[in-house]
Structure 1
Amino acid sequence: MQTLGPGAVRQRRAAAHKLAITALLAASALAGTTARADTLNQALAKAYETNPTLNAARANQMATDENYAIQRAAGLPTAQINSTFNENVLIPGGQFVVIPRTLQTQVQVQVPIYQGGLVKFNMKAADARIAAGAETLRATEASVFSQVVAAYNDVLRDSQIVEFNRANVKTLETNLRGTQDRFEVGDLTRTDVAQSEARLAQAQADLRNAEANLIASKERYIQQVGEPPADLSPPPPLPGLPASVDEAVEIAIKENPDIAAATKNSEAAGLDLKAARASRLPTLSAFGNLNRNDNFGGARANIPINIPSTQESGVIGGQMTLPLYQGGRPAAQIRQAQARKTAAMENQIATERQVIQQVRAAFASYKASLDVIRSAEAAIAANSLSLEGVRAENGVGNRTIIEVLNAEQELINAKVILATARRNAYVAGFTLLAAIGSAEARDLNLEGVKLYDSKDNYRRVKGDFLDWSGRDTPMIRSTRTVTTPAQSASEVVGPQ
């Protein structure tokens, strides 16, 4: 299995949990057989490849990977050639030797031998920050997936609510016509007609609001996935959720990528402190110079002497630098690094607190939504029976029109509550999976995508010592949505 993040941490994840997610999201990919049906698995796979937030995070991680090579370069030899060409256009008289033109060339090589540990600690700090960046990339991936899941379920919920409201408007239009007919024959009063008209107007307003919400949800889906939603299939059940909030917190402390990133950043800050202390230590380096002067055989002398056309010289040596006083700069850098290490340790605690809050809140929201689902299902069953009875009793004059209208409204309210609770339960459950580090591409078995491993790029650039190597021209991998037509509520998507 490929890994993203510390291998030891990833290996502790329960195999049964991963297999359960794989099986159920694979089932999601197979669900829906219409010509253009979308599953949650397909939406996640599309976002994994084309979401700009995720692709930008990958590019930023590539940039972070280069810090290791940048810091390592300070401990490697350097070589350069300096050439100077001189043409004497005005030669004063009275000189014994006249050299019209010269070419001076110097080859310099510097070899750092010891720099007080500065390079070593900077390289280790860069390595720690690269590991932190990889964990941050994991967190970004889980965050993008959470937004896709929310957008997917928002479209499903709002599609259902639009259908509920459309059906309600049709029912109330029929009720109004029946009320008006009964008013014409004197069976009902003008008040009954007014009540029916008012309830229909309110239902029409609710429908417009529901349609606007559906359009907004579709646009959020496009923002995350890159294409409009088609006929969305129901999402698969969420497996592997912790049985208790304490278990969820325990897993999150070990597996959450934000906590892992904060830990690595704290480690890097400690190495920065060691690097700052190294600035007070002596340094040792070796050098070599090769010089060549060429007058192109054009030297002239007023006395009989032999002037060679070329002169060469070379020197090798070593240099030790022992800092005695640097204006207080090293002490200031050490104090600065100490403060940043303190801040990094505090940030560890802050991140841990935030994750614990997220886990507990998501767990509570998930459990509460499940309770709401059960209550709403019971309410729908009871309201359906109640509405049937109220309509029958109204037909024989035992119930008023307003009672029928109220019963109809209570039923649609219960349906809206159920649709909302189902959405909230799923989103909260997936948020919980993300918080415990179980909502990444390798956990979800995305269909038709190649998993991205940030370590591949790091391994490639870590061993690159050449000045002229580079990568491909920068390119955009995400899809634009400017050509996507504005969404409407004329068509709802998903099961009704």
Structure 2
Amino acid sequence: MNRFSRLRALLLVGALSGMSPVTADTLREAFVKAYRTSPTLTAAQAAQRAADEGVPIARAAGLPSVGVNAGYVENAFGTTNTLASPQRQTTGQATVTVPVYTGGLVRSTVRAAETRVTEGQFGLRGTESTLFTAVVAAYMDAIRDDAIVGLNQQNVHVLDVNLQATRDRFQVGDLTRTDVAQSDARLSLSRAQLQSAQANLISSRENYIRVIGTPPGVLEQPPALPHLPDTPDAAVEVALKNNPTLLAYQKEREATNYDVAAARARRLPQLNAVLGGNYYNYLGSLGAGTGVRVGQDALSGTVGATVNLPIFSGGAISATIRRAQAQRNAAIEQALDAERSVIATTRAAYAVWRSSEQVIQSSQQAVNANKLSLEGVRAENSVGSRTILDILNAEQELLNSQVTLVTAQRDAYVAGFALLAAMGQAQANTLGLDGGALYDPIAHYATVRHRVFGVGDDATYPVGTSTAATPAQNAELSRPLDPSLDTPVDTSQHLTTGEHAPSR
């Protein structure tokens, strides 16, 4: 099973495992919603359909053209009808022009247009990849910030209980006013941190709506990513072959070669065969009143050829060639710059992913150690060997390690998916999305490539949806706190109160 199939299977398993009586959103469902309703993607699809029309437009220059002219003229001045001045006449002319030789201009413009269609198809894949990466980031941001709000709410509750206990112990003389002030200050700070965390959660949920189109429900944990490359060099090797954005730039570079050839062809002669037909009718007014019977209408046909040989164009043709060459040089450099960007992005994503994985391990150990430390500090405080400040610091260190853990989990998943995207493995056809047929730009191109008649399009294409009707988000928690992050509040009876307090 290749990496594409593994990622598709993992997303399917994640969707199935997320099914429960309570409505829950899975990452796979988020992908489908964004794919069906994102204005960014539907705009890119429409732009690609416009690019497809460049091929029939270019081909039209090499096909016969037919034109018809008709007119009616009536003398407004003078009253004498003569053979030289009929009172009225109507004319008609039809011309058929057949390109015979264009110096390669049509061939080059058609190939340039075809290449740009392929470029657009790669670009559309790149847009999908960018969208899905944004979906993963928005999805994981909402999960992370939901967890951070839960941790901060829990911390506020713990510190509030601590403050009440500190005040009680102060009343019986077990603690000092300084202990109460320290507990009060730390509680106020935790409430401020909670407000900031809630604002971040609301922001993440609003961004989720922007990217995916609907408010987040209860977000299930995403499925594990498939095995990623063992080294950054292996990742870069795949990315240089499959990254859709890089492939699009390379196709643009190829298209500019045809642009140069087309510009040079404008210096060559062009030969057209011309077929013509002429008809006129004087509507009985020719020679009227002269007593001379003359023919009132006639039909004639012509056959000929035209040759257009540019001799002097004021420098326009030469400037066109130079411009095409400069644009080719620019495309070459842009492709090279895209290659650099892909290499840097791939290596950076790999580094963030690996480092985040290590941070997860370290943070998990820190959370476990800080839980034990907090329990120990509380116990030692109960026998007078630790201060209230020691407890407050231990609780803050535990919170910090828990926040670091959920942040690293988010960073690792987002970076891992970004690495897949950089390697060209995060498009709709590789994720195995359900919910209907995928948009096929190749099929649309096949229908319009040789089309010469008709201006309508009977096909129905996806359109983006508005989010104006979605409600403003709040910071209410969507799910219970992960048990591994939960820290029970210490409500045990202190051993040292009143006259039994140790001397300080």
Same fold (TM over 0.5): yes
Deviation of 1:432 (Å): 0.3
- 473 and 92 in structure 1: CA distance in 2 versus 1, 3 angstrom threshold: farther
Partner of 2:495: none
Which of 223, 243, 264 lines up with 2:210 in the alignment?
A: 223
User: Distance between the aligned counterparts of 1:293 and 1:82, measured in 2?
Assistant: 12
User: Distance between the aligned counterparts of 1:93 and 1:478, measured in 2?
Assistant: 69
Partner of 1:257: 244
Deviation of 1:194 (Å): 0.2
Q: Percent identity?
A: 47
User: Distance between the aligned counterparts of 2:219 and 2:323, measured in 1?
Assistant: 54
User: Distance between the aligned counterparts of 1:72 and 1:494, measured in 2?
Assistant: 62
Partner of 1:490: 476
User: Distance between the aligned counterparts of 1:148 and 1:495, measured in 2?
Assistant: 23
Deviation of 1:476 (Å): 7.1
Deviation of 1:100 (Å): 2.7
Matches within 5 A, 1:266-285: 266-285=253-272
Partner of 2:3: 17
Partner of 2:117: 130
Paired residues of 2:238 and 2:423 also in contact (CA < 8 A): yes
Partner of 1:160: 147
Q: Would you say 1:181 and 2:181 are equivalent positions?
A: no
What is the SS of the residue equivalent to 1:29? helix
Partner of 1:26: 12
- Structure 2's unaligned 5+ residue stretches are 483-504
Q: Would you say 1:306 and 2:293 are equivalent positions?
A: yes
Paired residues of 2:342 and 2:422 also in contact (CA < 8 A): yes
Deviation of 1:440 (Å): 0.8
Partner of 2:448: 461
Show CA shifts across 1:192-248 (max 9, x none).
000000000010001000000000000000001100000100000110311111100
Deviation of 1:456 (Å): 1.0
Partner of 1:357: 344
What is the SS of the residue equivalent to 1:327? coil
Partner of 2:466: 480
User: Distance between the aligned counterparts of 1:173 and 1:495, measured in 2?
Assistant: 19
Paired residues of 2:81 and 2:287 also in contact (CA < 8 A): no
Partner of 1:235: 222
Which of 425, 432, 438 lines up with 2:425 in the alignment?
A: 438
- 19 and 98 in structure 1: CA distance in 2 versus 1, 3 angstrom threshold: closer
User: Distance between the aligned counterparts of 1:97 and 1:410, measured in 2?
Assistant: 108
Paired residues of 1:91 and 1:98 also in contact (CA < 8 A): no
What is the SS of the residue equivalent to 2:312? coil
Deviation of 1:89 (Å): 3.4
User: Distance between the aligned counterparts of 1:176 and 1:35, measured in 2?
Assistant: 37
Aligned partner letter, 2:280: N
- 360 and 309 in structure 1: CA distance in 2 versus 1, 3 angstrom threshold: same
Deviation of 1:433 (Å): 0.3
Aligned partner letter, 1:452: Y
Which of 107, 111, 122 lines up with 2:94 in the alignment?
A: 107
What is the SS of the residue equivalent to 1:266? helix
Partner of 1:214: 201
Deviation of 1:300 (Å): 3.4
Partner of 1:8: none
Aligned partner letter, 2:115: A
Partner of 1:10: none
Deviation of 1:94 (Å): 7.7
User: Distance between the aligned counterparts of 1:156 and 1:452, measured in 2?
Assistant: 30
Deviation of 1:309 (Å): 2.5
Paired residues of 2:83 and 2:286 also in contact (CA < 8 A): no
Q: Would you say 1:143 and 2:130 are equivalent positions?
A: yes
Q: Would you say 1:71 and 2:48 are equivalent positions?
A: no
User: Distance between the aligned counterparts of 1:74 and 1:97, measured in 2?
Assistant: 41
Aligned residues, how many? Answer: 481
Partner of 2:328: 341
What is the SS of the residue equivalent to 2:67? strand
- 308 and 368 in structure 1: CA distance in 2 versus 1, 3 angstrom threshold: same
Which of 459, 467, 470 lines up with 2:456 in the alignment?
A: 470
Deviation of 1:357 (Å): 0.2
User: Distance between the aligned counterparts of 1:93 and 1:464, measured in 2?
Assistant: 53
TM-score (norm 2): 0.93
What is the SS of the residue equivalent to 2:366? helix
What is the SS of the residue equivalent to 1:300? coil
Show CA shifts across 1:324-355 (max 9, x none).
22222222211111111111111111000000
Paired residues of 1:233 and 1:494 also in contact (CA < 8 A): no
- Structure 1's unaligned 5+ residue stretches are 1-14
Aligned partner letter, 1:484: T
User: Distance between the aligned counterparts of 2:3 and 2:481, measured in 1?
Assistant: 28
Deviation of 1:422 (Å): 0.2
What is the SS of the residue equivalent to 2:324? helix
Partner of 1:38: 25
Over 6 Å off, 4+ runs: 473-476
User: Distance between the aligned counterparts of 2:5 and 2:383, measured in 1?
Assistant: 59
Show CA shifts across 1:135-194 (max 9, x none).
111111000000010000000000000000001101111000000000000000000000
Partner of 2:386: 399
What is the SS of the residue equivalent to 1:237? coil
User: Distance between the aligned counterparts of 2:259 and 2:3, measured in 1?
Assistant: 39
TM-score (norm 1): 0.94
Paired residues of 1:230 and 1:493 also in contact (CA < 8 A): no
Paired residues of 1:232 and 1:494 also in contact (CA < 8 A): no
Paired residues of 2:81 and 2:285 also in contact (CA < 8 A): no
Aligned partner letter, 1:206: Q
- Cα RMSD of the aligned pairs, angstroms, is 1.6
What is the SS of the residue equivalent to 2:478? coil
